A and B are shown apart, each in its own frame.
Chain A
Amino acid sequence: MSELENVARTIIGNLHQSYLYRILSEWYEQDTLQIREELGIESYSETVSNSTELFNTVRKHIFSKAFQDAETIKFLMDIPDWVGFRIDGETIDTGEQAIRAAKQSALATIWLTLLPRVLISHTVLPEDYADQGIEIVVDRLLKSDESRKVLDETMSAELTRRGFGTDFFKISDIVSGFRIDEAKRIERLRAMFALVLMKSTDSPFDLDRVFTLNEMNLIRETEAYIITMYTQSTLNNRIKGSSSSRPFEWPLIGNNRVMAGVMNTLDVMRKYSTRMTTCSLFKTSIKGEDSPWTESEFISYVLDEIADYYTDLLRTRLGRNEELKRFIDILKGENIEIASRIMESSDKSGSFYDELSECKRRARVGEKAQITPERRLRVVLSTLKQSLDESQASVVSSEEIIDLIAKAFDAISEVIKKHEESLGNDIDKFTEELCFETSFRILDLLGLGIHLPDLPWIARFFAEESTMIDISSGEISELRESQRVKRIVYAFAGGVAFLVLQAR
C-alpha cells in the first residue's frame, strides 16, 4: 500500500469525529432541486436573471450551515476573489448550472478546511507527528492539477469502499464556477489551497507574505501550520485532561509524568511554530523586528496556559477559593522567574512539577506573589492581550474586559504610590502620561485606537461628574486633594471603560 493510501485510510478513519463531515455528507445527498426548495428559489421555468448572484447565494448558504462564525464564512466567500479568480458567467449560464457549480465549489472548500483536522489520529504522540504523511497530503494538494487528481482518486477509492459515490471527494472542484487567466492559474490556485488550509488551523497569517513563498516553501509552511495546530490542541488536552483523569483539577497540580508529556509537546510545538514565517504567533516583536520565542518564552507560555486553566476553573466551578486565587497570582506574577528557573534545570519536566508544588505550598500558607506594581501592570496588560489574541475579541465578555481594565488602572495607582517620593512635583503629569499610555494600549488592543482623541474629554467628563456627586452629597473635603492621583487614574479608567463598552 502506498504511503498516500495509508494517509487516506487514516483520514477516512478519523472522519466520524468531525462535525463538518456530517454537514458534507448531508449536502452531498442533496440535489439541485432540494437546494432550490431549501433556499426558496422558484421553479425551473423561470429564467434566472442573475446566475452570479444565485451562485453566491448557494455558496453562502452552504457555508453558513457549516460554519458558525461570520468571519470564516466571509473569508471562504472572498478567498477566490482575493487570489484572482472571477465568477465565470459562461459556465454558469443557467440557474441549474449555477447551483451545481456552487455546490461543488462549496463542498470542496469544506473538505479542504476539514482535512487538516483529520490527518492525525488522537493516539499519535506529538514526537511522531512528523511521520504521519502530512507533508504528502499538503504536497498533493498544492503541487498541480495532476497531483490533486491523484489525491482525488486515492480518496475516492477509499470512500467508494465505504459506499460513497466517486464524486464525493473532488478537491479540484474548489474553483468550479470560477475562471482565471491560464498563465496565473497554477500559482494562484496553490496560494488559495494553502490559505484555506492555514485558515482552518486558526493561526493568523500575513496574506501578502504567503503570496511571496515559492512552491517548496509554501508546502513546508502549510505543514508547519498544521502540525503547530496539533501541538496546540494536544497541549490543551494535556492540561485539561480527559473524563477519566484531570491532572490539573485543583488541588491537583499535575505530576512528573504529565509534565513530561507537556514538555515533549512543547518541543514539537517549538520546532514547527518557528517554521511559520508568515504567522505572528509565537514571536516577540522588538522595534518592528520579529524573533521567534526562546525556549524559556515557551515555558512561560505553558505556565500562562496552566494559570488560565485554573482561572477558568475558579470562575466556572469552584467559586471562592482563596488558596487557588493566591496560587494563580503567584503563577502569573512570578511567571518569568519560574520559567527561568525551569530552564536552568537539567530535568525540565521534573523541575516544572517541583515549581508548581512550591507555588502551591506558598499559596497554602497564605503567601502573596512577590510582585512589583510595575510587573502587575504588565501582567494585566499581557493577560488582556492574550485573552483577545486567543479567541476573537467578541467572544470575551464585557465583564471580563472591564475587570481587566479596572485591574490595570489599579496597578497604575500602585506604581505611582510606590514612586511618589521620587516623582515629586511631576506626580500628576506622570500619572496622566502613564494613564494615557495605558489607555492607548488597551484601546489599541481592542481595535479602538481611533477613539483616542476623544479620551481626554471623556475622562474629564467622568472626573467632573464624579466630583459633582461628591459635592452634592457634601463629601467635598481636603480628602480630594490627597486623592488626586487616584482621581486622575479613575477618570481615565472610566473613559476607557466607556469607550470599550460602547464598542460592544
Chain B
Amino acid sequence: MKEVGTGAQQLDMQSKSSLKLVEIQESALPEDEWLIGISSLEYFNGVGYSMPLGVHFDGNLLYQGGLMTGGRMTADLLQSSNIDDPLKFSKADTEQDDPLFLGTNKYDDGILQASGSSSEVGPSLESGEQGLVYKSLVSNDDSSNLYAFLPGIFYCSSQQTSVDAVLIEVTQKQQFGMTLSSFRPEDVRALDISQGMMLDESGYGKSVQISLETLGSFHAESFLKDSGIAPEDMEYCREIELASRLTRWLTLPVLKQAYAASSFLQTRLMKLLDDFEFYGLLPRKRIYIRNEKHPYGTVIETKYRGLESILDLGTHSGIACPDEIDLEMQLKTLTFSKALGVGTETDIEGAIMDLLYMITEVLEDKTSKEEVLQKFTRRL
C-alpha cells in the first residue's frame, strides 16, 4: 500500500516544474524506434541506473587496440545518478561460473531475500519447487542486469502503443577499439520546445506558439528548391547542402523551432497526445523493455501488486510480469536512488506510481490533446 502514496505531498511541489516532454533518440534515422513521453528527468537526476548483482560486462571491455579509440559509456556512467561502483564485481559473481558453487553460495546473494518469501532463505537444498525455480534462474543468469530506467508515459513508435516506463538493459562491447553501448545517457533529453517556426507566403520565417495547428508546418525542402540547384550539381551530400542553406536563414535557436515544427515531430507528438486523450491517466500496465532476450525492444504486460493490493488487501508488492516470469525475477531485484520526494531508494513499481501520481497532479484530468500539448510546451 505504501507504494502508491510514496511521499505524495512532498513530491507535489517539485513535480509540477520537473515534468517535461522527454525524447529518447537512439538513432539518427527517422524510421528507427523513437520514444517520446511525459517524464521527469529530475526524479532520478537523469536516468535511473540499477545494478544489483551478477553484473556481467563483455569480457573484452579492456582496450585491445584497434582502429579507433573512443566511446562514451564508461565516462558517462560514473557521472550518472546512482551507479556508485559500476565495475566493482561482487564476490559471488566471480564464482558464478564455477558449477561446484551452485546452490550453496547463491543464498548469500540477497536475490532470494528480495523475493519476499521465507522458504528460500537459508542454506537448505530442500527448498521446494519455488526454490528450484529461483536456483535455476540464478545459476543460468550470467547475463548483465544493469538497467537504465525512466518511468513516465511514453509512446513507442514501433509497437504503436504507450507504456508506463522504459527499461533498457545496459551492455557494452568493444568493436575496433570503440566502446559500443546498448544505451547512452545522452540519448535521453528534454524536448524543450515552446515555439515553432513557419514560413509565411513571402518565404520569411516567423516564430509561432506551438499548437495542434502549427505542428508540422515546417519543411526544409523549400530551402533547396528555391536555390534552383539540381541534385547532380550539389558539391556535397544533401544534408551538408541543406545545412549550409539553412544556416544562412536560421540561427541555432530558430533551427530548434523549425525542428519543433517539423512533420516528423508532429507525427510522434500527435500519437502521444491521441493516446493521452484515449487512455487518460490510467496506468497502461505495460512497459517498454530492451534486453538480451529482446534486443530490438518490446512491450510487455505488467501488473502492479502495490496498486492491486489496495483493492484485494493483499500483502505482496512489486512489479509482476505475467508473461515473463524470469524477467519478473530480474526486475524485482532492481532498486534505484531517486532525487525527488522522500526516501532515497525505490523500485520499478514505486517509481512508476510516483510518476503517474505526478502526471495526474499536473494535468488535473485535463487530457485532451490541446490541453496536454499546451501544458508541456508553454513557457512558464
A residues lining the B interface (CB < 8 Å): 374, 402, 405-406, 409, 415, 419, 423, 426, 428-430, 432-437, 451, 453-454, 456-469, 472, 480, 484, 486-488, 490-495, 497-499, 501-502
Contact = CB atoms under 8 A, between A and B. Distances in A.
Interface in B234-249: 235-240, 242-244, 246-247
- Max count, chain A CB within 10 A of own CB: residue among B30, B235, B243: B243
Contacts of B259: 457-458, 461
Chain A interface helix/strand/loop/mixed: helix
A429 B183 CA distance: 10
Interface in B245-276: 246-247, 251-252, 255-256, 258-259, 262-264
A406 B237 contact: yes
11 contacts: A406-B235, A426-B173, A433-B72, A456-B189, A460-B29, A460-B30, A462-B242, A465-B262, A467-B30, A472-B221, A495-B239
Nearest to A497: B243
A484 B239 contact: no
Contacts of B30: 460, 463-464, 467
B240 A405 contact: yes
Given A433-B71, A456-B186, A493-B239, 17 more contacts: A374-B68, A406-B240, A426-B180, A430-B178, A432-B27, A437-B68, A453-B189, A462-B243, A468-B221, A469-B220, A490-B240, A491-B239, A494-B237, A494-B238, A494-B239, A497-B243, A498-B246
Interface of B: 23, 25, 27-31, 67-68, 70-72, 173, 175-176, 178-180, 186-187, 189, 219-221, 224, 235-240, 242-244, 246-247, 251-252, 255-256, 258-259, 262-264
Given A464-B30, A464-B262, A502-B252, A433 B70 contact: yes
Given A402-B236, A434-B68, A462-B243, A468 B219 contact: yes
Contacts of B27: 428, 432, 488
A494 B243 contact: yes
Contacts of A374: 67-68
Contact of B28 (A426, A463, A472, A499): A463
Nearest to A372: B67
A443 to B, nearest CB: 13
Nearest to A398: B244
Given A465-B221, A465-B242, A466-B242, A430 B180 contact: yes
Contacts of B72: 433, 436
Given A437-B178, A472-B221, A484 B252 contact: no
A464 B247 contact: no
Contact of A498 (B25, B28, B247): B247
Given A406-B236, A466-B238, A493-B240, A488 B28 contact: yes
B103 to A, nearest CB: 35
A3 to B, nearest CB: 52
Contact of A432 (B28, B252, B255): B28
A406 to B, nearest CB: 5
A124 B178 CA distance: 51
A461 B258 contact: yes
A484 B244 contact: no
A419 B176 contact: yes
A451 B251 CA distance: 13
Contacts of B28: 432, 435, 456, 459-460, 463, 487-488, 491-492
Contacts of A492: 28
Nearest to B235: A406
A15 B173 CA distance: 64
B266 to A, nearest CB: 11
Contacts of A487: 28-29
A498 to B, nearest CB: 4
A433 B26 CA distance: 11
A498 B255 contact: yes
Contacts of B256: 457
Contacts of A464: 30, 262-264
